[in-house]
Amino acid sequence: MAGAGQRKGKKDDNGIGTAIDFVLANARLVLGVGGAAMLGIATLAVKRMYDRAISAPSSPTRLSQSGKRSWEEPNWLGSSSRLLTQDMKTSLSRSLQTLPTDPSAADTDVFRPTKPKPSAKRSQVELKKSRLRLSLQEKLFAYYRRRVAIPADEQARAKQAAVDICTELRSFLRAKLPDMPLRDMYLSGSLYDDLQTWIGQQSLLQYLPDGKMPMAIVVTADHIQLIVPLMLEQNLWSCIPGEDTIMNIPGFYLVRRENPEYFPRGSSYWDRCVVGGYLSPKTVADTFEKVVAGSINWPAIGSLLDYVIRPAAPPADLTLEVQYDADRHLFIDFLPSLTLGDIVLVAKPHRLAQNDNLWRLSLRPAETARLRALDQGDSGCRCLCLKIFKAVCKLNPALGHLTASQLTNVILHLSQEESDWSQDMLADRFLQALKGLIRYLEAGVLPSALNPKVNLFSELTPEE
């Protein structure tokens, strides 16, 4: 009976063992490394309990080397080896039915450590960037409110002072030079367009780290332009683009005197400002300088208006300095201008002396109009970003040569690349504008957003 029992147990054992070995051999291909390992551990544990159950000796006093009965098992196993075998078959059958069938699940590295999900790392980086962005955003807004923004009442007073002086100058020119053909003067510039900023002696870089705001900062509206349009006869003058001349400078124009054989010299009031057959912006500016600085009694006009007015010291020959309050000063630039067709030119010559016969193409009004239109279209922060941008550059000696037009074009180019200019994106757009400016400076080329063939950095030296 014992022999028969041993043979029967061995036969059953061989069948189940074969099934288990088969499952273990093929589980890795089906389940992958992790699944195969877990299945193997569980199956070996069950097989061990099964082996102990079927190999129990007839004498319960027989002990194993470890001092415990080798056939002793937990109570939950039950006393029937036949029932245990049936349960094992059922469990294996169900396991095989639920195994994945995708061969790609197999893995060759059994001991590969578990790595954190890339999405978790990415979310942590994005969270950190978000916190930094919010911190910079808050500081930029605070910096703008306390250092950059000009109070509305001060802007109104500065504009009123400019209007008063413009009115006096217009009256004087009509009385003193009634034959000078001029159109109506008008105010222009960053102050007039609410794009000016002035923040004294503290820079943004000094402010941002600790967030402190020294109160010795004077916020003032300090600069405006008075445009003086010349009236030219259309049939006597024509424009020649700078790129079509031997100088090859886009963004500048020569104004040539036409038809001298039919309309000899003196037919136009502005023939007196012609040099070498071209209307010279420098000569036109000198004519107005004699009027503005030498002919007008500005101290008398100042006492009438309750201002202190005096011509600015050279090299600002066409600039008036106006003190309209005890600690408020305003500089007014007189800028002669002319319009031929759809081309508007200003008497602001090239920085290089050999090109002083060229008139500058006026793009600033159109650039400002586009910037404001974009902001009005989506309630964006472009103008706000430009004001902060200008403040940083004004207080940085290395960036002091950059003009408002150049910085405006940096923002306009960035607007073509980025569509979201909501107030929440100010920090991102500000940093992008700084990086973009660095790229343009390294390349030495900043194309105009309105006229790409014009390089707005053409007048800067390599050192600058």
For 120-152, what is each residue's pLDDT tens digit? 666 767 766 666 667 888 888 888 887 787 788
The predicted structure's pLDDT at residue 268: 93
How open is the CA angle 242-245-246, to the nearest 5 degrees?
125
Cα(267)–Cα(49) distance, integer angstroms:
121
- What is the rounded average pLDDT for all residues in the chain? 76
The predicted structure's pLDDT at residue 375: 93
Which residues on neighbouring strands pair with residue 323, listed in sequence order? 308, 329
Give the dihedral sign, CA 456/461/462/464.
Answer: negative
Check whether 239 has a pLDDT greater than 80.
yes
Cα(363)–Cα(448) distance, integer angstroms:
9
The predicted structure's pLDDT at residue 447: 96
Q: How confident is the model at residue 1 (pLDDT cuts 50, 70, 90)?
A: very low
Check whether 298 has a pLDDT greater than 80.
yes
Check whether 416 has a pLDDT greater than 90.
yes
Specify whether domain 363-463 bears CATH 3.30.70.920: no
The predicted structure's pLDDT at residue 153: 84
Q: What is the pLDDT of residues 303-341, one digit of tens each?
A: 888 999 988 877 666 888 888 887 788 888 889 999 998
User: Token digits for 111?
Assistant: 């001991």
- Spatial CB neighbours of 168, under 8 Å, sequence gap ≥ 6: 301, 305
Cα(35)–Cα(48) distance, integer angstroms:
20
DSSP 449: S
The tally of CA atoms less than 13 A away on the side-chain side of residue 396 is 14
- For the ranges 71-75, 279-283, 303-307, 384-388, the lowest mean pLDDT is seen at 71-75
Q: What is the pLDDT of residues 242-278, one digit of tens each?
A: 999 888 899 999 999 998 889 998 899 999 999 999 9
Q: What is the pLDDT of residues 52-111, one digit of tens each?
A: 655 545 444 444 444 444 444 444 444 444 444 555 555 545 544 444 444 444 444 433
Check whether 3 has a pLDDT greater than 50.
no
Q: In CATH, which of 3.30.460.90, 1.20.1280.260, 3.40.50.150, 3.50.50.60 is domain 149-201+218-361?
A: 3.30.460.90
The predicted structure's pLDDT at residue 318: 81
pTM over 0.85: no
The predicted structure's pLDDT at residue 88: 55
Which residues on neighbouring strands pair with residue 253, listed in sequence order? 241, 359
To the nearest 10°, report the CA torsion of 160, 166, 168, 169.
160
Which segments of the chain belong to CATH 3.30.460.90?
Answer: 149-201+218-361
Which segments of the chain belong to CATH 1.10.1410.40?
Answer: 363-463
Burial class (CB in 10 A: 0-12, 13-18, 19+), 64: exposed
Contacts 24+ apart (CB under 8 A), 31-37: 31/99, 31/100, 31/105, 32/105, 32/106, 32/107, 33/106, 33/107, 33/108, 33/109, 33/110, 33/112, 34/107, 35/99, 35/100, 35/105, 37/110
Q: How confident is the model at residue 231 (pLDDT cuts 50, 70, 90)?
A: very high
Greatest extent of the chain over all pairs of C-alpha atoms, in Å: 143
